[in-house]
Each structure stands twice: as C-alpha cells, then as structure tokens.
Amino acid sequence: MKITKSLFYFLSISILVSCSSIKETQKDDGKIDFTFLQLNDVYEIAPIQGGEFGGMARVATVHKDLLKENKNTMLFMAGDFLNPSLLGTIKVDGERVRGKQMVEVMNAMHFDLVAFGNHEFDISQKDLQKRLNESAFSWISANVKLKTREGSIPFYKEINGIKKDVHETFIKEFTDKDGTKIKIGFISVCIPSNPKEYVEYSNMFVKARASYAFLKDKVDVVFGFTHVKLANDKRIAKLIPELPLIMGGHEHTNSNNFIGNVQISKADANAKTVYIHRISYDKKTKKTVVASELKEINAIIKEDEKVGQIVTKWQNILNTKIKDVISNPSEIIYKTEIPLDGRDTPIRSTQTNLGQIITSAMSFVYDDKVDAALVNGGSIRIDDQLVGNITPVDVFRVLPYGGAVLRVEIKGRLLKRVLDYGQLAAGTGAYLHRHNVKLKGKNWFISQKPLDIDKTYTVAFSDYLLKGFDIPFLSPTNKEVYSIYTPKEKELAVDIRKAVVAYLKSI
C-alpha cells in the first residue's frame, strides 16, 4: 500500500512538473508571425506563355504550402480579375461568363480578401452583382460605392435574400501556438479611372486617411491594400507613414518600393509572380517586420488537383463555345518563326512587332487611305508571345475588348499632343503603338514627313482612345477633332479583331 501511495505521489509530481513545463514553453511571448500571399491583375486562370508561367492551380499549391508552414496565412487579390479575358466574352446558358470562371476558381483556392480594381467595373451592374453574390471571399473598398436612385450605398452580397455590405475596412484576428493574439486591419482604395453610371468614386486619399483613422485604435497594426497607380500608392504612403506595407495592383510589372518605412509591393500580372510577405509583429514594442519574397509561378510548381479540374472545365468550355463567336477558330491565318511580342512590359513601353501588326491592320481596313493608325498598349491583353501557327483565337486573346476602328479627322496640333502624351506614358496602358508614325529625336514624322501642326490628318483610332480615359483631352468634344467615322456592322472596321484577322490573311 505504501508503495502504491509513493508511486501515486511521484506520478502526480511528475505530471505537475510536466504541465508547468508545457505552460512555460507555451507562455504568450507577445510576438506573432503571419503570412500574406499577394496576387494582382489576374485575367487568365490557365498558365500563359506556352504553359511556362502563371496558372491559378499552381498558385493554389503555393498557398497550401504556406498554410502548412503557418496556419496564419491570408490570400489576397489586389484588384482586376473579373475582366478582361476571352473566356469572359463567351456565352454559357445564354449569358456571358463575365468573370464567373475567376470567382469559381478563387472560391476553390479559398481567397480571404479582394480589392476592387478598375476593370471590375467593365462589366454591367447586373453581372457584377452576380459575381459578388457568388464569391465566398470578402471584398473591401473605401472609395467606391453603388449608385442608386435613393443615393450611394455600399456594394453588397445578396445570399438567400440577405444583403451583406462590402465594408470600407477589414479586420482579421490571429492567434499563434503560444497564445499570442493580434488584430490586423486593412484599408483599400481603387483608382477612379473607369467611370460608370452605377459607380460613385470618392477621393482616394481622403478615404484612405479616414479609413486609417477609423481602424488605428481598433487593431494592433494596419496594412494598405490598393488598386491605384504607383504614384498614388507613394502619396498614400506619405500621408499614412504608419503603414508597414501596401499590397498594390494596377501596374502589371512587379515592383517593390519604399517611401520612408512604408513598403509598396506589386506582383506581375496573370500570376507570373506572386508576393509572399512573412510578417512578424511584437506587441510589446509595436514593431512590424516584413520579409518579402517575389516568387515566380512556373512549370516546376505542381498544380493543385481540385483547382486544376475547375480550370480544365472552363478551358474546355472556351474551346467549345468559341465557335459561336469565331467561325473556324482553329484556322491557321498566319505563320511566324519570329515571336510576336504581346508581353505586358514591352507592349506598354516600346513599339513591338505585334503592335505594328495591329495598327497596320487598322489602316488596312480603310484601304490604307489614312495618314496614321494608333492603338493603346492597354488594349493588348494577351501578356504572351505568339509564334508558329496563328489562329483567330489567338487574335481574340490579344484583343479581348474588341471595339471598332474609328476614322478620325484631327488637327496636327492635337495629333502631336496625343503622340507626345503616349510617348510620356511609356510603362502604362496609355502608351501608343503606331502605324506610319516615327519619332526622330524630338520630332514626329507622318508618312516620312515632319508633322505639320496646322494640317488636318486622317487617323485610324481604336474606339477606346476617343473615350478620353487614357488621354484625357482626346475626345469627340475637343474642337480639334473635326469628324469621326464609325464603321457600319458589315464593315471589317467594326471590330478591331476582325480587322487583324483579315490583315493577317492578306499578308
């Protein structure tokens, strides 16, 4: 009996010591680690550039690996994902897809938070509402609201008749293994570059500051999550120097900048790269440390099976339904051994051979009876190189927006302003690809003759350019725009894609 009591006493002491030891090792140390996986400007769910880069199923694998590394991991999309894509233009069950494929894929990937980008408003209010309702992830924006007859209200999800507003800010709570708890907040604004009747834009900078003021005493640390120009992000960083990190979108080329202690990170479009931010926060010192890794998404990364199946399903739908849009979509219309360069960085910065083909086609459909042809680099969305056999599907991927080719009579002085603006916009979607136009030194030449500011020129423009979104002073209301010819339904110029297909067949 004594032996039993002694053994019981010994075991009790051992258990107490052991529990005390466990509690000691799990004591809240006031420090916590968490991870952000950032994407931005993704228009293609499948890999691009011959399967070499991108692919949401590969990103899903990276996400799962990060969750294994740290359960406190969040997946973000910093705007621009519902449009544009060729798949989005296809009809399924009588309705255009309009980003449905992206939401289904992102739901399967378990995205945590997305920001509105300007291209979310390319689609109608009705279609956007459907995508909001279908999304399992949270949305955020401080400066975009839904216009109604009664006034402006937050965008919302409606599920089973219950409306849930999109908030101006977002709060997430994390707890680690030793019990350290943290609240983190996010602020978000969107560039007001896509005016629509159903959208109200508030001042980006006013709303960013107001959002920070609202959050700062409710959380331990606040992060920026934006879809604006880099210059705008830099201004926000100056206005709110307490932000450790701004995860941004809008530009399509990766960048990592610092304004004071504020880091501004953007990944490459179409998930060619993603940013992984491993973050440590000390509750005692209030210090945040961000260690960022730009990770290339390439063929080495295995595709997640579940997400891959959804991507394949949608690609099969595209291959079937494209025949409703393009007769004989697999017809070989052109062969090239020299890659036609439609990659985002060059297409927004330099005159590429693909840009030359598109503008030559714009002149071709007017029997080359124009002085010049111009298209903005932002209309070219394939982010890839075309080589070998070229088909109509390739052309539609290059120019998913479509749109008419307009014949415009314009004064030389305004044409010079337009060309100067496009040149200064190198690196953005407003950069202009040109036909019959050369820049020699600081002087422009049209048909090998110096541009005459007093002459009237006939120029083929993509219809988007005349809307004044990229070049604010180029619109039908400008007095130096003398006339605009809009092609009729049966003319090739009615759709820039048909113009390019016809041109490639002719050469």
The dihedrals phi and psi of 386, each to the nearest 5 degrees, come to -100, 130
pLDDT tens figures, 9-51: 444 444 444 444 444 456 788 999 999 999 999 999 999 888 8
Grouping H, G, I as helix, E, B as strand and the rest as coil, residue 394 is helix
pLDDT tens figures, 255-301: 999 999 999 999 999 999 999 999 999 999 999 999 999 999 999 99
Cα→Cα distances 96→93, 429, 494, Å: 8, 25, 20
Report CA dihedral (453, 455, 461, 467) to the nearest 10 degrees.
60
Grouping H, G, I as helix, E, B as strand and the rest as coil, residue 469 is coil
Grouping H, G, I as helix, E, B as strand and the rest as coil, residue 423 is helix
Enumerate domains of the chain plus CATH numbers: 28-296 (3.60.21.10), 326-506 (3.90.780.10)
Give me the DSSP letters along 327-393: SSTT---EEEEEEEE--HHHHTTS--HHHHHHHHHHHHTTTT-SSEEEEEGGG----SEEEEEE-HH
Closest CA to 140 of 170, 111, 106, 118: 170
Grouping H, G, I as helix, E, B as strand and the rest as coil, residue 68 is helix
Provide the β-strand partners of residue 256: 265
The answer to whether 69 touches 323, Cβ cutoff 8 Å, is: no
Query: Around 125, how many Cα atoms within 13 Å sit in the side-chain half-sphere?
Result: 12
| Both structure tokens of 491 | 């003319």
What's the confidence (pLDDT) of residue 26?
61
What's the confidence (pLDDT) of residue 10?
45
Cα→Cα distances 141→39, 103, 205, 231, 420, Å: 17, 18, 13, 19, 34
The dihedrals phi and psi of 188, each to the nearest 5 degrees, come to -150, 140
C-alpha 428/C-alpha 344 separation (Å) is: 9
Report CA dihedral (495, 496, 501, 506) to the nearest 10 degrees.
110
C-alpha 78/C-alpha 36 separation (Å) is: 12
Cα→Cα distances 172→75, 181, 284, Å: 12, 11, 19
* One-letter-per-residue 3-state SS of 109-134: HCCCEEECCHHHHHCCHHHHHHHHHH
pTM of the model: 0.84
Q: Kindly give the parts of the chain with pLDDT less than 70.
A: 1-26
Query: Residue 205: exposed, middle, or buried by beta-carbon count in 10 A (0-12, 13-18, 19+)?
Result: middle
- Measured at the alpha carbon of residue 224, what is the angle toward residues 222 and 225, in degrees to the nearest 5? 130
The answer to whether 370 touches 407, Cβ cutoff 8 Å, is: yes
Tell how strand 151-153 and strand 144-148 pair up: antiparallel
C-alpha 502/C-alpha 364 separation (Å) is: 9
Report the run of H or E that residue 403 belongs to, with start and end.
Answer: none
What's the confidence (pLDDT) of residue 450?
98
Cα→Cα distances 344→117, 252, 272, Å: 18, 7, 11
C-alpha 376/C-alpha 196 separation (Å) is: 21
| Both structure tokens of 326 | 């393009």
What's the confidence (pLDDT) of residue 119?
95
Cα→Cα distances 392→2, 91, 126, 281, Å: 92, 18, 30, 52
* One-letter-per-residue 3-state SS of 148-201: ECCEEECCEEEECCEEEECECEEEEEEECCCCCEEEEEEECCECCCCCCCCEEE
What's the confidence (pLDDT) of residue 23?
44
C-alpha 137/C-alpha 462 separation (Å) is: 36
